[in-house]
Amino acid sequence: MLNAERAVRIALEKVGLEVNGKNPWDPQMKSSDVFAGILARGSIGLGEAYMQGRWECEDLVEFFARITGGGVSKAVSLTPANVLLFIRSVLTNRQSKGQALSLGRFHYDIPQEVWEGTLDSRMTGSCAYYRTGAETLDEAQEAKIDLTLRKADIGPGKSLLDIGVGWGAFSGYAAGKYSARPIGVTVSDSQREYIRQRYGDAVDVRVHDYRDTKLSNSVDAVISAEMFEHVGSDNFRTFFEVAHRSLRPEGRMVLHTIVSHTPSKHIDPWMDKYIYPGGCLPTPGQICSAVHGLFHVEDVHDIGAHYDRTLIAWMSRFEEHWVNVKALGKKKLGMDPEVFCRMWKYHYLASAGGFRSRTISVHQYVLSRRGISGGLPPIR
């Protein structure tokens, strides 16, 4: 135990973190067995100990910004759980059609009350855009949605395929402001019902795997916002083939996705276990390789610096609704309510730390089938 504690202390000190220190980003350990758990199980040991209340940290975002930016997470990556996840990701297609529906529903069929207590009024589950004049979360999300649709050249009467429609924020806005005709694809029955209740017939929402989309040269635009992280590197090319097949020759696609700078077939093991099973962050190079021969890359826009602020805004809202979420009970949440709330907080603020350190980011790609004559002026 003492050796484990010493090893963890030394690793943390290298990035300016002191166990039980005085800074708000210093971890406060309530149980000495946390150290052994970290060395034995890596991020799973660290995350589960937080969920169980065995350590605290006033500023989790800065804690994880230092952890990810300083490479500490890589230093403790060779645990049995990490190795097993790596082997499974290499030997199997974890995002095959047979698994995609169940994996997607694991996350998106979390009780609607949790999402309503976390996201903005449109239920937009992707990075906001705090451009000049956008101060509140709602304003920043509307700025992002409008930015995305302008890049896609959406207008009255135009058809839109929204792959990974979520709770309908993009499609509902496209129908309402731009009089577009959106088709939304999701794997979640809960999302379909929410969209139908909120937007009625304005959004044609369909529940199926994106690979089962049966459209041929029939839509004016395709968008996908933070769904590509569920596709998996084995399926990147297939995803773009579906989009290419659906899009009219003069149409555009806008891909909004979290990106990593290091290729990997899986995400952090704790995130994979509790939040996004089967998740896989693409690199810019992988995206460009996957679109080769299908699309011309007209524009790449990095908005990842806005995600730190977005995630903190989400967590601020969630903490206001913490008591209400706990009241949903173990049956609806799938675990002890206090443990669930700590898990939810940990996942958002750990992610914010990754974006703050710039080890991960968010890119928007504007893609065209034939290349836009004269090029596309940057839309910001």
Domain limits, the chain: 2-78, 97-368
- The band of 73, judged by pLDDT with boundaries at 50, 70 and 90, is low
Distance of CA 133 to the CA centre of its chain: 25
**Structure confidence at residue 90 (pLDDT):** 42
Angle, helices 189-199/97-108, rounded to nearest 10 degrees = 60
Digit-coded pLDDT (tens) for 270-289: 998 999 888 899 999 999 99
pLDDT (mean) for 102-108: 60
pLDDT at 98: 59
Query: Which tens digit of pLDDT belongs to each residue from 295-318?
Result: 999 999 999 999 999 999 999 999
Q: What is the pLDDT of residues 151-178, one digit of tens each?
A: 999 999 999 999 999 999 999 999 999 9
Above 60 in pLDDT, residue 1? no
CATH 3.40.630.10 fits 97-368, yes or no: no
